[in-house]
Chain A
Amino acid sequence: MAQYKLQINGRSYEADVDADTPLLWVLRDNFGLVGTKYGCGIAQCGACTVHLNGNAVRSCSLPVSAVGSGKVTTIEGLSANGDHPVQLAWDEVDVAQCGYCQAGQIMSATALLNKKSKPSAEEIEAAMNGNICRCGTYHRIKEAIVVASSKMK
């Protein structure tokens, strides 16, 4: 066990956990930030996607000891009132079915749009292919990314 100081959603958090504890479980078990989901634990489904210094990462496979002073953003920190353009687009297009994977989808989509504000269809597919949606909402995810892209400055 060791003490880790993490920068999450613009705040400072501390946890006394094993060095190999994945960031996912620190977020969920230690900080109560349960918007980030467990789906597979081996970086195959993307449900646990968060941003580390702006990049989409799978928090289920990222040991807390590797986070360092990096800036972590989770779905809870994407916007203060749920009004980030990507969140608004997800609502407008009515993307979710069961909704469990959608936080991860939104985090992947946001990381993409932050790097490339007008991605092509191929770029969207490439960036989102690591996120599984078991309900099959892929068509609407694509549509929502296009809508979000038009909303972002």
Chain B
Amino acid sequence: MKIAATAGGGLLLGFHWGSSEASTIQLVGAVADDINFNSYLSISPEGVITIFSPNPELGQNIKTSFPMIVAEELDADWSKVKVVQAVLDTKKYERQVTGGSGAVPHSWERLRKAGATARHMLIEAAAKRWGVPSTSLTAENSFVIDKAGNRKLSYGELATEASSITVPADVKLKALKDFKLIGTAVRNVDNKDMITGKPLYGMDFYREGMLTAMIQRPAFGMKLKSFDGAAAKAMPGIVDVVSYKNNVAVVGKSTWQINKARKALKIEYEPEGAIESTADHDKLFKDLLTNGQATVRRKDGDVDAAFKSAAKVITREYQCPFLSHSPMEPMNFFAHVREDGVELVGPTQTPDRARMDVAKLVNMFPDNVTVELTRLGGGFGRRLQADYVVEAAELSRLLKAPVKVIWTREDDLGGGSYRPAVRYRFDAALDANGNLVGYKLRGVGINAGNCTREDNFPSGAVDNLLIDTVEHKSPITTGPWRAPITNFLAFAEQSFLDEVALAAKKDPVKFRLDLLDRAKTSPVGAIKYDIDRMKGVIQMAVEKSGWGTKTNLAQGFSVYFSHRSYVAQVAEVEMKKGKPSLKKIYAVADCGVVVNLSGARQQVTGGIVDGLGHAMYGNLTFKDGAAEQKNFNTYRLIRMKEIPEVECHFVNNGIDPTGLGEPALPPTGGAVANAYFKATGKRLYNQPFSLQEELKGVTLGEKL
């Protein structure tokens, strides 16, 4: 922890993310040697509290929630807090990543300590000025208050004096019951800029003298054979046509002229690896499920014996296609490669990766590469990759000019880092009493890595269990997509368990609760989820949805643990004119303490809409290494008419926050599929649902 009086007076407080101990404290001068700083807040003599938000903001609301946590412990007047997006500085901030729903869990205590430490010092400064014991003083709304003396001093008035107070080695944090800001609904700090159309995003970044470029990339498995850019280069407004690696870039000033010239490129490609199509994958999946070389992920007991002696065996398979992330803002980045360093500006979930990859490209020290973060027009995992950042740097180096690379929607769908296509086979063995005595899961994925979550429920509750995976390596690039792997696995598993419960003649909720009790009383192997938290969301979902009490509606249940949090969902389908109509989804989330109720509701509701939309429609197919869906006319995203009512609840049990950007998405597909089954007697096994025979003629949101 370091403190500095700022040049203009005021308090500058740094706090160290790398250590939870605030023990190494020293006073530093106005120009801080900030090697160990990781984030900070400042208070000006005018009373403006500036909180730097280090993490990339893509809609998960971190730019509002992080500062709220600091402001809470500081007892700051939120209306006077100014939030500033920090640039990349891993020496100060350490973890500047948006991914894995990990930011709030990582920083919760550090942010609280930062606020509480400053508050302590402001109170001490007031005590010193008034000559009273600090224990007689309180703080509220950016003032230190002396109730007995009927007087108060603003944080601004105290800031400079506070900077000379000894920094406490340890500071008392508020009791949860004393939170005033945390847990309330606080509006997004960027609202005003967003609703008035201010330039916030990478696409909006313009620089005098900047060139704009679009790139023609090969299909997966292909490489550049030859190209003729003469016709394109001769078109109006085109500065250059250049080629590097397997790409051809058209460079100019006007986006439209570049787009037009691009169509005049003559490019020949040739195969350099496997040229794959979705039809091949469908065949491959079935073969590899049976004959593939599997990697064992978890093994408990003896599954062969259990299945041999089982009274009943249930085997089901589930498959999903590739998905594109399709953030509304397509990929783009600005780069200026100079002799002495590189300037990068744009939207990225992993600014440090962008810096490292570019440093490697241009053979410079990472310290010579700066990254300024714009707001991200969505990410969903796509912007964890730095391919499009490296492209901008590559072109800037080639052209010796500042360059902004822009992807069209077609580029985005065709050049993704897709959610991998996966197929699962589940096997369950039941004994004569309907107990689950054996469980097998094999996943086959295309560049999916481990496409299971082997330690998730019901692992730990079944005596004999085998989970393994088979991998197919493909030239089609894949990567994390919101709630990686679990975005489809949860549907498959929760649908399968629904079917097993039915075969065991048990209520699906009771079936899960019995298994959880089993895991609690006689755990099998390691248990890596919190049984009580999972039961907690199940029970609350039962209560809120009136599970099992509605005669006019078919309900489907699902519960899933991902990214440290627990979410149960109940979907309700009504039969009308012989058609199933999805009416409502209840969600109960246990993400520990809810920081911002408005943002938390957004993440749950938005996660459900995202999960439903992609389960229903998401479908990216390949023909000869190229994505067949080129734009939103064929790659279907969910629209307003199609959404059911959503009601969300939070357990809010006082546990330190455990993340919410992803956990609400995985349970949705299963809840919806189980409700459709209850209503129609038809099971869904494959996504997208809308293309399955079982849902023929069914339209989301149709007014029946």
Contact = CB atoms under 8 A, between A and B. Distances in A.
Interface of A: 1, 17-18, 20-22, 25, 28-30, 32-42, 44-45, 47, 74-76, 78-79, 82, 87, 90-92, 94, 96-103, 106, 122, 124-126, 128-129, 131-142
> Top 6 closest A-B pairs, CB basis?
A35-B197, A136-B609, A100-B377, A98-B59, A97-B59, A75-B197
B605 A139 contact: yes
SS class, residues of chain B in contact with chain A? loop
Contacts of A101: 328, 377
A65 B327 CA distance: 30
A79 to B, nearest CB: 8
Given A25-B254, A82-B195, A122-B703, A98 B409 contact: no
Contacts of A34: 197, 199, 203-204, 206
Interface in B158-195: 185, 187-188, 190-192, 194-195
A3 B193 CA distance: 32
Contact of B192 (A38, A82, A100, A106): A82
Contacts of B187: 91-92, 94
B59 A135 contact: yes
A28 B206 CA distance: 10
B610 interface: yes
Contact of B377 (A17, A37, A94): A37
A139 B646 contact: yes
B696 interface: no
Interface in B371-392: 375-380
A94 B256 CA distance: 34
With most chain B CB atoms within 10 A of its CB, the pick from A75, A87, A102, A133 is A133
A99 B631 contact: no
Interface stretch (B43-51, B120-128, B509-517, B637-645): B637-645
Contacts of B195: 75, 82, 87, 90-91, 96, 102-103, 106
Given A82-B196, A98-B329, 5 more contacts: A18-B256, A41-B631, A131-B640, A134-B378, A138-B609
Given A38-B330, A138-B643, A96 B188 contact: yes
Contact of A100 (B188, B201, B605): B201
Interface residues on B, range: 35 or more
Contacts of B474: none
A37 B195 CA distance: 12
A144 to B, nearest CB: 10
B85 interface: no
Interface string B217-252: 000000000000000000010000000000000000
With most chain B CB atoms within 10 A of its CB, the pick from A42, A133, A135 is A135
Interface of B: 58-61, 185, 187-188, 190-192, 194-201, 203-204, 206, 236, 253-257, 260, 326-330, 375-380, 408-409, 598, 602, 605-610, 613, 631-633, 637-641, 643, 646, 701, 703
Given A94-B598, A103-B197, A128-B640, A136 B606 contact: yes
28 contacts: A1-B236, A18-B256, A21-B254, A29-B253, A34-B197, A37-B203, A37-B328, A40-B409, A41-B631, A45-B328, A75-B195, A92-B187, A94-B191, A96-B191, A98-B58, A98-B327, A98-B377, A100-B328, A103-B197, A125-B641, A129-B639, A132-B637, A136-B605, A136-B607, A138-B639, A140-B602, A140-B605, A141-B640
B197 A135 contact: no
Contacts of A25: 254-256
A141 B640 CA distance: 9
Given A25-B255, A40-B631, A136-B606, A98 B191 contact: no
Contact of B328 (A33, A47, A125): A47
Contacts of B641: 125-126, 129
B197 A76 contact: yes
Contacts of A100: 201, 327-329, 377-378
